[in-house]
Amino acid sequence: MYRNTITRTILLGDVKYKIINLTEPLKMDVEVFPGNPKPRKEIFRKYSKNSSRYNIYSIGDHIFHPHGDAPNHQNAEDRDLGFECWDLDFVFNKACMIDLSEDKEAIKINGNKYVTIITKKNLEPFRKYFPGKNAIIVRTGYDKVVQSNQKHIRKNIPYFDKSAVDFILEYTKLKVIGIDSLTIDGPGEKYAHQQFKEKLIVEALVNLSNIPRKNRLQFDLQTSPIAIVGATGGPVLAYAYIAIE
């Protein structure tokens, strides 16, 4: 039977890992960032005696859950740096997840509780976990909105404010910045995207609640971009690896 498994235990060499799939299959009815087009599918060739079925898809490069941003997404001076630029340095990294879903600043909107504006104040209590990490994920609680395929309202989509961006920039070894939101910038802003242009920004991560609480501050993260030359973004296959002692 074919199925989309969220968690699985595997053996890599002599080490047993629990793997959490942070990636969601693409649906044709996926709710997208306000103003963006939904994906479309066209049957190019139907099944017949002498041929197999073949489909053509029209898909925006920031629709996938999760998706990554290329340097050219919000930076005109980097227009030649598309989604093909991320190499293996950005694929496997030591990571921690900052879970703000139960933060005192989290508010309930349409039945979902999450932090809408991520500030330095939210991140500061986790400062001691940043050294030695090459990737961080900030979970606001918006992953529940993404997973339930609810309509997105621009003013309610979480983002980093300037203080949070500047705080993260203090940790120069960070290569990957992940979040469960569809974007890292507020309405009309580009500061976060521009400051993080040399890092792989991974947005719309899902299944983050499946990472065990005791492991959220220390695990291995896989973020594998599907390289598309010239694209401003594209799909990312993301998995959390937790070593089982």
* Strand, coil or helix: 152: coil
- Cα 147 from Cα 149, distance rounded (Å): 5
Q: pTM score, two decimals?
A: 0.95
Q: What is the CATH number of domain 7-32+61-244?
A: 3.50.30.50
DSSP E strand boundaries for the chain: 7-12, 15-21, 40-45, 54-58, 67-69, 92-99, 107-109, 112-114, 117-118, 135-139, 159-160, 176-179, 200-203, 219-225, 233-244
pLDDT digits (tens), the chain, 245 positions: 567 789 999 999 999 999 999 999 999 999 999 999 999 999 887 767 677 888 999 999 999 999 999 999 988 888 889 999 999 999 999 999 999 999 999 999 999 999 999 999 999 999 999 999 999 999 999 999 999 999 999 999 999 999 999 999 999 999 999 999 999 999 999 999 999 999 999 999 999 999 999 999 999 999 999 999 999 999 999 999 999 97
Burial of 125 (0-12, 13-18, 19+ CB in 10 A): exposed
Q: Hey, what amino acid is at 86?
A: W
- Cα 60 from Cα 89, distance rounded (Å): 26
Q: Hey, what amino acid is at 82?
A: G
Q: Which of 93, 110, 168 is nearest to 138 (CA)?
A: 168
| Pairing mode of beta strands 219-225, 107-109 | unpaired
- Cα 128 from Cα 172, distance rounded (Å): 15
